[in-house]
Amino acid sequence: MLELQRTIAKPVSISGIGLHTGAECTMTFKPAPANSGIRFVRTDLGGNPEIPALAEFVVDVSRGTTLGIGDAKVHTVEHVLAAVVGLQIDNIIIEIDGIEPPIGDGSAKLYVEKLLEAGFTTQDEPKDYLIIDKTVMYHNEEKQIDIVALPLDGFRITVMVDYQNPALGSQHTGLFDLEKEFVDEFAPCRTFAFLSEVEMLADQGLIKGGNLDNAVVIVDHKLSQTELDKLSEKLGLKTKITVGPSGFLNDKSLRFKNEPVRHKLLDMLGDLALIGAPLKAQILAARPGHFANVEFAKKIRQLYHQKRLEKKYQHIKKEGVVFDTNAIMRILPHRYPFLLVDKIIHLELDKKVIGIKSVTVNEPFFQGHFPGQPVMPGVLIIEAMAQTGGILMLNSYFDPSSKLVYFMGINNAKFRKPVLPGDQLTLEAELVAKKSKVVVIRGKAYVGNNLVAEADLTAAVIDRETKPGETKND
């Protein structure tokens, strides 16, 4: 696998029609600086809005993957993205003067050929690999979809499909070396659809740019020649549609015996580009589709954010510790005697965080609460839960050091057992709701397995004011 980032050496352009819209457009690939990622630019719209190719900007997955910000959208981006990541390009600007890229022959071949024509430039920055070090799973019971990422010092992807159709059957494929296999064995694999899907899409006014030269159509039910002629007319095809013994319209010959599942792998490569970083992992996928691919990409991207934050604040890796005290003080503004969480041992961004507070007899509050019978004040247990929850919230923002958390309300607070010197508090905080800059967190505090306190906390995240001579990163 490559060690340094790369972009293309010169701009190249492609023109053609989109699969669903049938609209003409020109798409131009341009070099981009290191660490800038993959970006689409709608040059036909005022201000040339940019749309980063990231999972959080996916707005539709019904008939392909659509990216959008506000009114600016780009449909059916998966084949373009597959070409980019399949060639291990990290940084590129994709200008497009329409809403949908040219479909070409329904594969990624057209884009790959153009990008190879552009050539590559190696950049000075190292590739920002996301190393999967534990199993990540996605499961959809209703559609029987499973996608798993496993640890691997490299990248492999294996895909299986089973549509219970005699013309397609059960198929599987695997890509084990991007440099050796992608261009010749996966980029040329065309999109496919069942005849029933084509009829439905035609009735909906979609696939206006579809024809038998940019898709393989699998016959999943019988149609008379009269019905086929009507479908051909509806699609605006110049060629006559026929059904032969192969099980494909017009007896279309496949480029590979398992071309359909290879195309599914191609789609998945494109959708996984939305993670925003190349992977070191083994991906296993059963019956994937765009919705599942994007949901899985979002899950992996969340892990990517978390690992970047851990690396940013936790300078020395420690077994069983996400953030130690020094890291916590880089995130939170609290200091002695009011920093009430010692370490973070578990973090799921935007979901849950677990912190530890060791309660010693040296705590300053024990001098007055109470002399001769020291008990940790309940309000400070709440504060410890709040600080733990503050880490969960602040890590949802790009620059936590520029934010402060102000708590607005405490509800359903209950204190079940006293906390004494020598106890160790395990502080759990779960995100219940998040709206704009106001969040609700459910906090619980345990000593051992015993719940000692709980409360629902409402807080606002605001910008931190800087003092004269101070920057927000101080």
Which token pair is 305?
């954010």
Q: What is the DSSP letter of 349?
A: T
Q: In this structure, are 86 and 153 located in the same domain? A: no
Catalytic residue among 305, 334, 346, 369: 369
pTM: 0.83
Q: CB burial class (10 A; 0-12, 13-18, 19+) of residue 20?
A: buried
Q: Are 84 and 180 in a shared domain?
A: no
Closest C-alpha to 254, from 217, 283, 291: 217
Same domain, 169 and 206: yes
User: Does residue 474 lie within any of the structural domains?
Assistant: no
Helical pair 225-235 and 195-203, crossing angle rounded to 10 deg: 50
Say what the pLDDT of residue 349 is: 86
Please indicate, yes or no, whether residues 142 and 37 belong to a single structural domain of this protein: no
Q: How many CA atoms lie within 13 A of 142 on its CB side?
A: 2
Given a cut of 50, the residues of the chain with pLDDT beneath it are 398, 468-474
Which of these is catalytic: 290, 315, 334, 346?
A: 290
Look at residues 293, 310, 327 and tell me which one is the last residue of a structural domain: 310
Q: Is residue 130 part of a domain?
A: no
User: At which residue do the structure tokens 């106001």 appear?
Assistant: 438
Instruction: Check whether residue 341 and residue 398 sit in a common domain.
Output: yes
Pair 417, 452 in one domain: yes
Total domain count for the chain? 3
CATH of the domain at 56: 3.30.230.20
* 328: phi then psi, degrees, rounded to nearest 5: -60, -40
Alpha carbon of residue 57 to chain centroid: 9
Q: Does residue 148 lie in a domain region?
A: yes
Would you say residue 386 lies in a domain?
yes
Half-sphere exposure of 202 (CA within 13 A, CB side): 18
**Same domain (yes/no): 181, 166:** yes
Phi, psi dihedral angles at 306 (to 5 degrees): -65, -45
In a domain, 257, yes or no: yes
Same-domain pairing of 444 and 352? yes
Catalytic residue flag (residue 290): yes
Q: Which domain CATH number covers 230?
A: 3.30.1700.10
369 is catalytic: yes
pLDDT of residue 213: 67
Boundary of a domain, candidates 125, 147, 167: 125
287 and 143 co-located in one domain? yes
In a domain, residue 306? The reply is yes
Q: What is the pLDDT of residue 267?
A: 97
pLDDT tens by residue, 219-250: 777 777 787 777 777 766 767 777 766 677 76
Domain harbouring 409, CATH code = 3.10.129.10
| Domain membership flag for residue 473 | no
Q: How far apart are CA 57 and CA 81, in angstroms?
A: 14
Nearest to 264 by CA among 203, 327, 200, 186: 186
Does 376 share its domain with 262?
A: no
Q: What is the domain extent for residue 95?
A: 4-125
Pairing of strands 4-8, 50-52: unpaired
Q: What pLDDT was estimated at residue 471?
A: 42
Domain boundary among the residues 80, 99, 125 is at: 125
131 bridge partner residues:
280
Q: Which residues contact 154 (CB under 8 A, 6 or more apart)?
A: 1, 280, 282
Helices then strands, each counted (H, E), the chain: 9, 24
Q: Is 300 in the same domain as 160?
A: yes
SS3 116: helix
CA pair distance 225, 215, nearest whole angstrom: 20
For residue 234, tell me if it sits in a domain.
Answer: yes
Verify that 333 and 435 share a domain, yes or no: yes
Contact 192, 259 (CB under 8 A): yes
